[in-house]
Amino acid sequence: MEKPPIAAITHLESVTAAEVAREVQAVGENEAKVIQQTLDSSRQGGYTPITAEEKAQHRNLNRKLDLFLVPFCALIYLFNGLDRSNLGNAQTDGFTNDLGMPASAINTATSLFFATYVPLQPFSASIGKKVGQTYWLGIIGVGWGVLTLGHAFIKTESQLIAIRLLIGVFESGFYPTVVTYMSRFYPRYDLAFRIALFYGSYAIAGAFGGIIAYGCFKIEGSLHGWQYLFIIEGTCSIGIALVTPFWLAKSPGTAWFLTENERAYAENRMVIDTTANLDSTTKLNRRDIIEGCKDWKLWFVLPFNILTSVPPQGFTIFFPLVVKGLGYSGPTTNLMTVPPYVIGAIFLLCFAWSSDHFRNRLYHILVALSIVMIGLILTITLPLENTGGRYAGLVILLAGTFITSPLTAAWLAGNTPEPGKRTVVIGINGWGNLAGIIGSELFLAKYSPDYRYPLSVTLGLVAVSLLGYTAYRFVLQFANKRKAKKVAAMTPEEIEDENSNDVRYADAKYTFVYGL
């Protein structure tokens, strides 16, 4: 349900979660009017601190979570991004030539990676919910780290394909597991910025990967430079994964780095924010799976999420090759990939902060997609000889590239209050990575050095996604108006019963407002 924060509960750390839930679900005449107004205006609620003391508690708690959770999740994702995109870096050092493979082996391996990675995401995220998300992150992290290290010793194209398929299996559950994990700690309008901090490490991975590749390719030793690249990145991934289950807290109520009062406050503010069943944070039941799989708002936005993910998930893997097409040497190419990724990460953080602050997702997504389109148009239309202009186009392209995916995840998470169902929804939303298959089939070596055709197709796909996201916003608004009519015909007692019964589940309740 949606209603304003409970002014009577000023000390959330001194009451039980059950008491908070009962207070949130209670409805009188005033609450009934507020619920109808918020539905009619599509103004989504959630937890908002009221008193100066509560605001200070809220800031202090977020600061601790930002210090102990987000940087570690970002660190894991940094090496996840390195392990996923390092084939492009390795290729600039003659990876396929040294092994006697065709250049197309990179595209084939990448397509098959995503073919394995994408469909397994909901399944893997559900396993994480069952066995414990922190343990699961450690297990899959060790798996993809070992496989990344194994790249250094492959000899044939079939071995490359096999190892990329297995990496897809292990990496599949990472992103949806972390997003749902973080949504258990942060209220909905504190979440997008934290997802951006986490997701931004994927952008930084592109920059960091270029620096690591540059250093590895300068090593004078008995191995090829690309072998050192895989060994170093794989070893680091394994080390981080081994620490993961011991560092990450399992839930707000059991966080080792919080005091007893802070743990109670952290748990209770999430009850207010989600108004979910109290035991739902530790279970994934059959209804969660069924409701998640038939969630209309997920299936409406998913095709457009796939299209808009072609730049971050497909194009960025081949970004070093596109930059090399401007005439740079192998080591210099990897250094030249660094500034666009850094700028992309900065833009992502700014947009995510603004999205949380103004409590809006759509307009930020539309501006980001417009930036991507401008960058693509410049890169397509300028001649290859205009190295500076085309490079500027690539910088603009990457400035907007990383924004839409985390904002979409935060949008879906905020509109799915039941944690179990949210796990399924975010897992299926991970199918946006199908864009990786599209990208690997577009950015073929035969289109080098200008890659004008694949960039033109990408421009068309992004334009379609912009229209789709716009339509999505109006459909959500229509759903809120429809709910408002239902609530207007209900008594306060009926509204309170709607809040507490299980006839309609999670966001399907008439009292839940979809955020725009």
CA 132 – CA 184 distance, rounded (Å) = 13
Q: How many CA atoms lie within 13 A of 249 on its CB side?
A: 22
SS3 string, 82-121, reads HHHHHHHHHHCCCHHHHHCCCCHHHHHHHHHHHHHHCCCH
Q: Place 1 in a pLDDT band, splitting at 50, 70 and 90.
A: very low
Q: Are residues 192 and 356 in contact, defined by beta-carbon separation less than 8 angstroms?
A: yes
CA 113 – CA 382 distance, rounded (Å) = 33
- Taking only the tens place, the pLDDT of each residue in 462-498 is 999 999 999 999 999 999 999 999 988 888 888 888 8
Among 78-87, 108-117, 159-168, 397-406, the minimum mean pLDDT is found in 78-87
Determine the pLDDT at residue 499: 81
What is the domain class of 58-274+290-478 according to CATH? mainly alpha
Q: Place 2 in a pLDDT band, splitting at 50, 70 and 90.
A: very low
Determine the pLDDT at residue 283: 60
Instruction: Give the pTM.
Output: 0.83
Determine the pLDDT at residue 366: 97
CA 513 – CA 275 distance, rounded (Å) = 12
CA 348 – CA 410 distance, rounded (Å) = 13
CA 76 from centre of chain: 13
Determine the pLDDT at residue 182: 92
| Res. 20: pLDDT tops 70 | no
Residues with Cβ < 8 Å from 15, sequence gap 6 or more? 9, 264, 268
Alpha-carbon distances of 140 from 262, 332, 390, rounded to whole Å: 31, 33, 39
Share of the chain above pLDDT 90, in %: 42
Provide the phi-psi class of 5: left if phi over 0, else alpha when psi is between -120 and 50, else beta. beta
Query: How would you class 358 by CB atoms within 10 Å of its CB: exposed for 0-12, middle for 13-18, buried for 19 or more?
Result: exposed
- Taking only the tens place, the pLDDT of each residue in 241-270 is 999 999 999 999 889 999 999 999 998 888
Query: How would you class 463 by CB atoms within 10 Å of its CB: exposed for 0-12, middle for 13-18, buried for 19 or more?
Result: middle
Q: What is the DSSP letter of 416?
A: -
Determine the pLDDT at residue 6: 43
